[in-house]
Amino acid sequence: MRRKLLLATLLAGLTIGAPRTGHAEPPAIDVKGDSLDATAVRRAIAAEFKRVRAEATGPLEIELEADGKAAVLRYRPANRPAITRRLQLPPDPARAVEAIALLATNLVKDEAAELLKELTEADSATKDPPAPDSPPPPETPAEPDTTEPPRAKRTEATSRPARDGRGGSRERNRVDPEPDASVPRRDLLGAPVNVSLVHPLAVYVDSEDRAVNLELGALFSRVGAIHGVGVNAALLWSEGALHGFVLGGFGLHYAAPSDGFQLAGFGTWGTADVRGAQIAGGTHFVKGNINGVQLAPVNITTGTATGAQIGVFNYAGSGATGAQVSLFNIAGHASGVQVGLVNVADSNSGVPIGLLTFGGDTDLKLGLFATTRIPINVGLKFVTGKFFHQLVYGVVPSRSVGRTQVDRAVQSAQYRLGVRLVLEPLFVEPSLGYGFEAPYDSDSADQAQHVASYRGVVGWQISDGFAPIVGLGARTVINADPDTVGDPAQEFEAMVGVEFF
């Protein structure tokens, strides 16, 4: 075994490090993919094999992926398992062919290294075999891996200095953004200032491969990333991140984690997380998480919205932590405040404030009760955790109202917010309410008096669906007018009733 290990070590050193003096033998190559120039690929591989004097012992398969942005190389050495590698291709066809040739050569050179690894493992396995009668050692739980993922390394194809077309090297202008596991690595060139009319009519025709510090555009800008300021009168499209202040007269697009301030006339569209503020006249769409503020008529994020969503319609697929303020709020899990006409959440540990609230953690309670001022009341209560809001409608069949003391029916409507404290089998509910009372046959808002009230209620949960309730509170008429309902400005009131469900 040690002789084999020594032989493999020498083979690895000769294959990987030492130049060969014999004739270089490129492999038989099978190229699959219409957008690849098979002849150019074979020539480039043959030239690279000749340069490094590599020899192949098996065929090589090259298959282009459906989107044309990556290729899979599979080398099948003789009497050895196949070696497969995936390569992200540069957009330039010539550079793509060069990258494939370099990786193909590396696959062949790696064959000896893989043989050395297997022989080393076999040698360590046979050096100290366990005694046949000894019990296996006890298993210990694996400790969690707390190390950070390694940074992405450049391949030979991308580490070579690229020429900028003017005889100089562009390597000194290269910008290496922080790698992100969820986004394919892109090595971007730098550009301090770029002016675009309609891409590629711009100072840098390859601006989609550049990280631009200042982008000024008229109709359509396309950049690799923004690190600073980007402004376009119509559409600014980034293939990567947006860092800093970015303005699009119509809209913005980004495809890598971004941060800063984004302002658009109509909307923003992102396929990665974003941190900061987004303001638009139409809509925001984030395929990821938002940490900051979204302000637009329609705000949509498929992940978690941490901060505030303010608009007419808000949606946070995974959840909302902070505030959602709009007519309609929808969240996977709501752990902040939802303020709207309709609030919906799969689960809710926050405070929903609105007319209607629905979700897995919200219970509906129907109440029938009488107060010393309004004898007939129906209330619909939405209970979420320790908080509730209630819609109440009440009727007085006949009461002397106004200076004339004419008997007239009086109706009332009220909205209440409160806290529900459970002390089984009892529960206590302090609440605040605001509403109006007016003669039933009145068609004028001037004849309505606005009423604010405080009430404390105690209930006894006899069963899951039934509880008697009693309460005591105080009410204040905001705009007391003897010509309308004519109630006193302030007075105490008591209530008694039942609650169902």
Structural tokens at position 337: 């405040």
Per-residue pLDDT reduced to its tens digit, 305-352: 999 999 999 999 999 999 999 999 999 999 999 999 999 999 999 999
Q: Would you place residue 118 in the very low, low, confident or very high pLDDT band (cuts 50, 70, 90)? A: low
R_g over Cα of the chain: 36
CB 474 within 8 A of CB 493: yes
Can you tell me the mean pLDDT for 438-458?
79
Residue 141 has pLDDT above 80, yes or no: no
The phi and psi torsions of 488 (rounded to 5 degrees) equal: -60, 155
d(CA 316, CA 345): 9
Residue with token string 């209930």: 459
Can you tell me the mean pLDDT for 64-90?
80
- Amino acid, res. 271: T
Per-residue pLDDT reduced to its tens digit, 159-172: 334 444 333 344 33
Per-residue pLDDT reduced to its tens digit, 205-217: 999 999 999 999 9
pLDDT at site 484: 52
Give me the domains of the chain, ranges plus CATH numbers.
2-125 (no CATH), 190-359 (no CATH), 362-500 (2.40.160.20)
CB 431 within 8 A of CB 405: no
Mean pLDDT rounded to a whole number for the chain: 80
d(CA 166, CA 198): 24
Distances (CA, A) of 211 to 151, 224, 422: 19, 5, 58
Sign of CA dihedral 160, 163, 169, 172: negative
Judge if pTM exceeds 0.85. Answer: no
Sign of CA dihedral 189, 173, 207, 192: positive
CB 233 within 8 A of CB 252: no
